[in-house]
Amino acid sequence: MNEKQTEQKVTLATKDLHAWFDDFHAVKGISVEYPEKTINAVIGPSGCGKSTYLRCLNRIHEEVPGAKASGEVSLLGQNIYAPHVDPVELRRNIGMVFQKPNPFPNMTIFENVVIGLKLQGYSKKSYLLEVAEHCLKKAALWEEVKDKLNRPGTSLSGGQQQRLCIARALAVNPPVLLMDEPTSALDPIASAKIEELMTELKKEFTVIVVTHNMQQAARIADYTSFLVLGELIEHGLSSQIFTNPKEQKTEDYVTGRFG
């Protein structure tokens, strides 16, 4: 496995990444590399800055009033925090599924899925419908919504909305996908399908997923990072983090004694 790590291309890498909400220092100097075609889990106790960290990776964090970030995040070798980088362009290459499902309330299920494509200029209905079906199938939602694509996205249940948001993120085909607790509102069957999806996506893309579910991280993630109070405690192969952690804190957390 270690050999593999060295020959793999790095898709995304953070270097001394810090994030603040006004004076509150939420992420404290995280440096991690994410190789291409991997699933990477971020774990840690509630409030430790996992979401904030993830939101720095597509520069959505800076949209919060008073929030700022410093350090480096490089996507395929290019620092996305460099002054000439347009965050709008950047975000097209990094899909995101938020912790709370957030479908567009004024749009139908169908429109929700294809909105990204539509606003990029694709308008052929048959093509959009094909993409919608494809993405909804991947997000394990198609069977439940295929007869009501014209109902508002918000008419779905919470878990269905989350899968709708996953489908929406997939539709623009981003090489990097950030997922913030995508399965926390889902039943085991839907969760399993999403895990399957991530494993599927891994063939082409890089996935970074925040999760509170240790088993899930151990099952699907190639690498796992463990955060406490905004600091990176340990990062490594999941097999190592979950069976043979170097840090005492990590061991306590993954065995359920702390957190």
Partner 1 sequence: MSYLQYRKLKNILFLGSLYMSALIALLPLFLILQYLILKGATSLNLDFFLHDPSPVGEAGGGMRHAIVGTLYMVGIGSLISVPIGLLCGIYLAEFGRGKTAKILRFTIDMLTGIPSIIIGIFAYILIVAPLQSFSALAGGFALSIIILPIVTRSTEEILKLVPTHIREAGLALGLPRWRVIFQIIVKGNFKSLITGIMLAVSRAAGETAPLLFTAFGNMYLNFQISEPMASLPVQIYTYAISPFDQWQEQAWAAAFVLITIVLGINLVSRALVNNKMIIGQSKRVINHTRLIRKKKGN
Ligand X SMILES: Nc1ncnc2c1ncn2[C@@H]1O[C@H](COP(=O)(O)OP(=O)(O)OP(=O)(O)O)[C@@H](O)[C@H]1O
Interface region with Mg ion, contact rule CB under 5 A, candidates 35-43, 92-100, 110-118, 229-237: 92-100
29 binds ligand X, rule: CB under 6 A:
no
Nearer to Mg ion, 179 or 254 (CB): 179
Q: Which of ligand X, partner 1, Mg ion, none interacts with 163 (beta carbon under 5 to 8 A by kind)?
A: none
User: Among residue numbers 180 through 209, which ones bind partner 1 (CB under 8 A)?
Assistant: none
Number of residues that bind partner 1 (CB under 8 A): 38
129 binds partner 1, rule: CB under 8 A:
yes
Nearer to ligand X, 24 or 127 (CB): 24
Nearer to partner 1, 35 or 116 (CB): 116
142 binds ligand X, rule: CB under 6 A:
no
Number of residues that bind ligand X (CB under 6 A): 13
User: Among residue numbers 4 through 23, which ones bind ligand X (CB under 6 A)?
Assistant: 21
The least CB distance from residue 91 to partner 1, in Å, is 4
Which residue in 35, 44, 103, 230 binds partner 1 (CB under 8 A)?
A: 103
Measured on CA atoms in the order 247, 249, 250, 255, is the torsion positive or negative? positive
Measured on CA atoms in the order 149, 174, 219, 59, is the torsion positive or negative? negative
Which residues contact ligand X by CB under 6 A? 21, 24, 26, 44, 46-52, 64, 99
Which residues contact partner 1 by CB under 8 A? 58, 60, 63-65, 88-93, 95-96, 98, 100, 102-108, 110, 115-116, 119-120, 125-126, 129-130, 146, 149-150, 165, 168-169, 172
